[in-house]
Each structure stands twice: as structure tokens, then as C-alpha cells.
Structure 1
Amino acid sequence: MRTVGVEEELLLVDPETGEPRAMSAAVLARAAREDADQDVFEKELHEQMLEFATHPQSSMESLHAEIVRCRKEAAGHAGKIGCTVAALATSPLPVSPAIGVNQRYQWMEEQYGIATREQLVLGCHVHVSVESDEEGVGVVDRLRPWLSVLAALSANSPFWQGKETGYSSYRSRVWQRWPSAGPTELFGSAERYHRRVADMVATGAILDEAMVYFDVRLSERYPTVELRVADVCLHAETAGLIATLARALVDTAAREWKAGREPLDPGVSLLRLAAWQAARSGLTGELLHPETMRRMPADAVVRTLLDHVAESLEANGDLERAREGCARLLRDGNGAQVQRGLMQRTESLREVVTECVRHTQS
């Protein structure tokens, strides 16, 4: 059974006002003092962000428990220095992002200017183990049309700088400012994948392989494929659902690759439209069907995804968990819908943030 790990980026906020706080260095220092072996939490581009990474897990129950534990530990460390954490993919309230003191981050600011200064967005990255780079590239090629459905399920960023954006995932639109971000063409082999990455680095437009921000890529650090399209999810169980579906998609894609089944290839232009549609409507309207690239109601597209990976879900013992998780999101709403519901009820973005702090640890 493939192992799965999750990286989540959390927003540091004031527990009373909901305003972002540039305190990641202090939180990390506190965590290091309390646990000398602490390797869970990491700094990110902006000081208002705190990242954690789970250990690889083969059990989805164990992965969910670790996400919950990491979120609570992050809140505990943050609380001791006067802030807390919120699983929000953008800050609903106005913020002036503070770039971390780091040579890499300073290079990014010089290279990309305002795009770096404004890039306070928070995602959820899922790593799924693969047996080789060849299998990994076979998976990367076959996941492409399905990623927009994961993006719609995870959408959790309807507000930006104090305003309603009209998008369910505005994070994904801001993320597209990076020159290497987004969907890719088919690679066909590990050799062609690595050649393309090397050519991109050689242009000087990006610093290194770690800045190849494909929607799905081979990890440069681990023997995994890394899915990078999801917003950080408001609820831990949604993050667990995204990870569950990601593993099933990788299993299904690997099986197709081994069988010599050709990948679907709608082309990068249509994949970009599918990603835009998912960001715009989330689960509240229509999505582009991964196999036809035509509009269909979101619930029908989600059912298509479940049907596509049902065999893999069942083999992993995750079928009922995935079905129930998707049904819950379609019924109760994703993070974007919850945020908008809170805004409608309270008419206060501050209240939205402070309520989402509670949701983060629920």
C-alpha cells in the first residue's frame, strides 16, 4: 500500500482581531525549545505562515490523526507567544505580507517583485509514494485532467485583502503568478521530464528544481509524486479526504501506466480552463468534466472522480471513507462555502477568521 504525507501551510493570526501576525520565527523558536527533536514545523516565504509536514502513513486514519495533532501543536506553540493558527488559504482581512529573512526568499523578491511581496497564500501538498521516476512520470501524465476536481473540493479562499473575490479558490489564481506554476504537457518518460526541468532551471528564470511549481511533480526530496493544487483545507477531515483521493488517483494512474493505457490529453489550454472553473465555482456550480472537458454540475463531476478511482479506493479500504467525505462536502460545503456562510451571518470578516480558528482544530 502506498504511503501518503501531507504538508499544510497555516496562517498565523491574532486570536482576538483575526489579523495576520508576522510571528513564524518566534513560533518556530518556541517549538524548538520545547522539543529538541522537533522537525515537523518549517518556515515559509512569509512570516505570517507556518508549515508542517506529517510523516508518511499508509493508514488514512493515522494520517488524519497526525494532521489533527500537528494543527493542535501548532496552535499550542503559537498560543504561548500571543497568536494562533487558522487553516485559511488566503487572509480574509487586509495584510501587508512580511518576507522571511532568508537568502532564497530575498532572491525571489528581487526576481519577481510585487508577485513575491503579495504571495501570501496557503496550500495543502500531498505526497504519494511511487516505485520509480518512470512510474512517477507515468502517474504525473495521467493525473492532469483530475486535479481540478481536487481543487474544487478543497477550495477555501473566497476573500482577499478584505474583499469578496467572486472565486471559491482565489489562492490558486494568485499562485499562477509564478512563472513555473500550473498544468504541464505530457512528458512520456522520466528522461524527458528531467530534461524539461533542467532546461527550465537553465533559463535563470527560476532558481532551482524546487521552484518548478507544476500542479503535480516528482518531489526533488522524496520518492513521491507531489500534488500541489489544493488550498489548505479548513477542516482536518477534508485534508484527509484530499489525501485519500490523491492516493487512489496515483494507484489508478500507475495501473493504467503499467497496462500501457495512453493518458488523456486535453492539452494545457483546456487544463487551465478546468483549473479556472474549479477556482471560480468550487462545489457551488459547474466544473469541467475531466474526460470530456465540458461543463457538468459539480456533484456529477465528483461522482465521476469517485467512479474513476473506486477500484483503488476499495483495495485500500478507503471507499466508504471517500464516499462519505465527498457527500459531506457536497451537503455541508467546502471551506469557501463555510467562510461565506459565516460572513453572511456575522457581516464581519474578523468574525469569519476567529470562527475559522475554531474550525481549524475541530
Structure 2
Amino acid sequence: MGVEEELLVVDANGRPVPKGPQALDVASRAGEGEDVNLHDRAEHGEVETPETAHLMPELKAQQLELGTPVCSTLDDVRRELRHWRGRADAAASAVGARVAALATSPVAVEPVPTEGERYARLNEAFGLTAWDVLTCGCHVHVSVADDEEGVAVLNRIRVWLPVLTAMTANSPYWRGRDTAYASFRSQVWHRWPSAGPNGPFADAADYHRLVDEVLATETVLDTGMIYFDARLSAKWPTVEVRTADVALRVEDAVTLSGIVRGLVETAAREARAGGAVPHMRPEVLRLAAWRAGRSGLSGNLVHPPTGRPAPATDVLAELVDSIRPALSDAGDEQAVEQGVRAILERGTGADLQRRVHRETGDPAAVVRAAVEATHEDADRATAEATG
């Protein structure tokens, strides 16, 4: 598996600043890795990177993206995310900024586009949807045997994907206002014409026909804009799950990764055993996704087996139970259970942001707390290593 995270670049006042490209230049000169150079890869589209670790630009200059190498264990994921969050922060610090794992900015900001031909085409083609968006997500890749297995997996995991949005909810603010959503990023993201849930596919050929039909409309620029909630990677033998906010804490990203791998493996096993594809229409899935973004883990979610509301904690517990054999076989069961328990006890990133804002009334203080939480896991590990 591999993980991609988008991060905000912020100044001492908590304001996102367009220093992402400068930070990448610093990282490139420092030799942070062969993939830190970057407009080539960015201009090709959304670069998918489970093969090599790297830092990359994003649509807005107030962002950086990181990607891990291929990871076999959750310990690998934890180590790589610590490492690359730290490298991104060091590069940002060199130009007077920091990086924060925030899915939207608590401070009002005017997004600044990153320079480049493809980004210019996106801004021209999609207008305010592209101009306005400054959001950060987390994408998890998990390997599959081939496209047929990948499509069988997509068909079976789709009903659970809104739960991932709820458990990672980390974007309650937009343009300096509390939106009353836990994940407003998920609402903004669905403005893109190709974003959101889809129905099940007959087979891999059916999936690829749909992609061809989407491209034939000439509404999206290329395959990089196949923004399905989960998709087959265009470059790697993976399923890519794309519904999560970037997680504030490394540990929550690790928990997400374990759950996604468990979902993919469970779905692949069910397909090999001839199990039925769960039934839920895309229209109902869209409602489930909206519900997850609205309340996160604090209210009801749409329960996948029934299509009816149920407490979010119960739905999350049922998700973990449904993938438990795969978690156990991968050695992930204890880590995922502990991670889910921690999220339920201390809350999501959205909960922390609102708590800090209640205590301080200061959006900048929310960002400073987020910067600390973004790196606290790595800082703790360093302290433990040095005694």
C-alpha cells in the first residue's frame, strides 16, 4: 500500500501562504529525493506514487503533496508519514512557513493557483470550482492482482467509503466561517463534475468503458480527473480510495490505511468466494456521503447493510468487525482497534479545531494547534529515541 497526503503551507499567523513552490525548490536543492522536482510530473496530471517517496506541488501554491513509497506494514506507513511530513515541514520552514494537515483553512484566504500549463487549463475550464478550491485530502493505494480483481473490490467497498470521510473529518471551516459540517472538504470536492460515488461494474471492461465515456464528453481534461470516490490507478496495480480528509494526526492516517487495506482484502476474498455485491444505488450513496461530511462521527451515518440511519460509532464498529479476519491476517487488528478507539475518545480533527476555537476565539490559534498535531507523533518519536 501507499499513502498520499495534501498539506497546507501556513505562516505564523495561521494564514495559508503561496510558498509551496519555493519550499519544493528548497527540497529539490537539498536532494530530498529524485521525485522532488516537479512540474513535469504535476503537469502530467494527478501523479500517483506508491513506488517512490516524494514531495510534489498541488493545484494551489498554498499546498504541498507528499507520497510514501510502497509500504508492507502499518509501521512502514507510520514511519514514512512521519518522515515525509517532517521533510515537507523543514522545506516550508526554510522559506518562513510550516505545513499543517488541515483539509481546509480555518483562516479566510484567497487561493493562489500554482503556475503550470495543466493548472492553467484547469482554472480556465472549471472557473470558480477550480479558483475557489483549497482542500487537502488523503488517498490510500492498495495493491490488487489485476483490473478484474480491482473492479470486484470497487464494487464491494463503495458502500463503506462514506464512513472513511466521517472518521477523518478535519475541515469544519471555510473562508473563516464554521460551516456546521465536520468535513466541508467533501462538499467542496463534489463540485468537480466527475467526483463522487458510482454504481457497480459488470467487469473491468465495463469500468474502462465508463472511463472512456467520461473522457468522450470532453468535460474533464484527462484520466487524472477521474475523481471517483475509489478508482483503479491509471499507473499502478492498485485500487485508490479517495474519500478521506487529510488526517490531522499521523496515527489517524495509519488507522485509515489499515482499514482501507482491510476493506480491499476482504472484498477480494468475497469476490473469489462468489459473494454477492452489496446493493446501494449511487443516489443513496451520495446521500450517505453528504451525511458523513455533515456530522462526522458525532451523529448518525447511513448504515450500509440497511440504508437507514444508525449511530456513527455503531457503523464504524460494524465496519471494523466486517474486515476483522483480513486485519488479523495482516497483523493490523490491534493497531486498527487502538486507532479507532483513540479517534472515538479524543475526537476527529474537526473536533479539535472547534475545541481550540471555543477556547480561544482565534482562527490562527486553531492553525497553530493543527501544526503541532501534524507533527506531534514525529516529535514524540524523536524524544523517545533521544531519551
Return the TM-score normalized by structure 2. 0.92
1:11 aligned residue: 8
Provide the residue aligned with 1:94 in structure 2.
108
Matched, 1:215 2:212: no
Give me the whole-angstrom Cα distance separating, in 2, the residues matched to 1:220 and 1:26: 29
- Structure 2 unaligned segments of length 5 or more: list them: 36-53, 377-387
User: Is 2:37 the counterpart of 1:23?
Assistant: no
Separation in structure 2 between the aligned mates of residue 294 and residue 36 of structure 1, nearest angstrom: 48
Paired letter, 2:343:
L
Matches within 5 A, 1:1-362: 4-14=1-11, 16-35=12-31, 37-39=33-35, 40-362=54-376
- The CA distance in 2 between the partners of 1:108 and 1:81, in whole Å, is 27
* Contact 1:150–1:230 (Cα < 8 Å) also in 2: yes
Give the C-alpha shift of residue 36 in structure 1: 6.2
What is the identity, as a one-letter code, of the residue corresponding to 2:25? A
> Residue 86 of structure 2 aligns to a residue in which SS?
helix
Structure 1 Cα separation of the partners of residues 286 and 147 of structure 2: 25
- Secondary structure of the residue that 1:7 maps to in structure 2? strand
Partners of 1:141 and 1:188 within 8 A in 2: no
One-letter identity of the residue aligned with 1:33? R
Deviation, 1:173, is 0.1
**Structure 1 residue 45: deviation in Å?**
0.5
| 8 Å Cα contact 1:201-1:209 kept in structure 2 | yes
Instruction: Report how far residue 262 of structure 1 moved.
Output: 1.6
Distance in 2 of aligned mates of 1:297 and 1:251: 26
Cross-structure match for 2:40: none
Distance 1:150 1:311 in 2: 19
| Secondary structure, counterpart of 2:165 in structure 1 | helix
Q: Which runs of 4+ in 1 moved over 4 A?
A: none
Rounded to whole Å, the distance in 2 between the matches of 1:100 and 1:72 is 22
Equivalent pair of 1:9/1:124 in contact (CA under 8 Å)? yes
For residues 3-24 of structure 1, what are the alpha-carbon distances to aligned partners after superposition, in whole Å with 9 as ceiling and x for unaligned? x10000000000x200000011
Gaps of at least 5 residues in structure 1 are none
Distance across 1 between alignment mates of 2:180 and 2:33:
43
Distance 1:31 1:100 in 2: 17
Aligned-pair RMSD on alpha carbons?
0.8
Whichever residue aligns with residue 146 of structure 1, its letter is: W
| Counterpart residue type for residue 185 of structure 1 | G
State the SS of the aligned residue for 1:361. Answer: helix
TM-score scaled to structure 1, two decimals?
0.98
Deviations 1:107-146 (A, max 9, x none): 1111110110001100000000011000000001111110
Quote how far apart the aligned CAs of 1:38 are: 3.7
Whole-Å Cα distance in 2 between the matches of residues 199 and 290 of structure 1?
28
Q: CA deviation at 1:348?
A: 0.6
2:323 partner SS: helix
Map Cα deviations across residues 23-56 of structure 1 (whole Å, 9 max, x no partner): 1110111000001634210111000010010001
For 1:353, the aligned partner's letter is V
Contact 1:115–1:178 (Cα < 8 Å) also in 2: yes
Rounded to whole Å, the distance in 1 between the matches of 2:168 and 2:249 is 10
DSSP 3-state at the match of 2:3: strand
Map Cα deviations across residues 133-177 of structure 1 (whole Å, 9 max, x no partner): 000000011111100111110000000110000000000000000
How far does the alpha carbon of each residue in 1:68-109 deviate from its partner, in whole angstroms, 9 at most, with x for none? Answer: 111111111110110110000001111111111111111111
CA distance in 2 between counterparts of 1:148 and 1:305 reads 11
Structure 1 residue 206: deviation in Å?
Answer: 0.5
Cα separation, 2, equivalents of 1:11 and 1:121? 8
